Structure 1
């Protein structure tokens, strides 16, 4: 069974390693949507894989660190691409949610990235 808990946050960034004149080299913002994927067997007694409240207890404070911030000012996000943001989230969540199977970062309504750990 796979569960997905979604979060939203607003943040600004600029990408420091794009070619000169690239639009993402200028400061801009996104309304990010993040999906936290958890996979496992359903505990028949509880009726769920994991309590959504348990996911929220871990992930909400991490999302709050990102909300209304300039991402490249956060340690580990000096090059805040969607790929690097997904990996950063994984690194902060996976040690505390052992059933984590993927992190999806939606940078826009039509562009997203899925990270499944390494």
Structure 2
């Protein structure tokens, strides 16, 4: 069974490796949507794989690093494409939630990335 929880954060970035004149080379922002997927078997007593509050509290420190920040200034995100941001998030989340199976990160309602480690 897989449970999921969705989060949102707002960040600015620019993509330094885009071709000259590309609109993403200039600073701009997104309201990102992050969905975190955890697999497991429901615990017999609680009936839960994980308490959603525990999941929220475990993800919050990373969202605090990203929310209303310039991503290019965060260590490891000097080229903050959505793909690179997904890998960065995975590397932060996986040690805390070893049953993490995938994350979905959308930079707009119609575009994003799914990362499974």
1:66 shift after superposition: 0.3
* Partner in structure 1 of residue 76 of structure 2: 76
Q: For 1:52 and 1:33, locate their aligned partners in 2 and report how far apart those are by CA, in whole Å.
A: 17
Q: For 2:63 and 2:103, locate their aligned partners in 1 and report how far apart those are by CA, in whole Å.
A: 13
- What are the ranges of 5 or more consecutive residues in structure 1 without an aligned counterpart? none
1:44 shift after superposition: 2.3
Is residue 110 of structure 1 aligned with residue 110 of structure 2?
yes
Matches within 5 A, 1:1-118: 1-117=1-117
Residues 43-52 or 80-89, more deviating:
43-52
SS in 1 for 2:49: coil
Alpha carbon RMSD of aligned pairs, Å? 0.8
Normalization by structure 2: what TM-score? Answer: 0.96
Normalization by structure 1: what TM-score? Answer: 0.96
- What are the ranges of 5 or more consecutive residues in structure 2 without an aligned counterpart? none
Q: How many residues align?
A: 117
Q: For 1:101 and 1:43, locate their aligned partners in 2 and report how far apart those are by CA, in whole Å.
A: 18
Give a deviation string over 1:32-85, Cα, whole Å, max 9, x none. Answer: 110111111111221111111121121011101100000010001011011111
Q: For 1:22 and 1:44, locate their aligned partners in 2 and report how far apart those are by CA, in whole Å.
A: 54
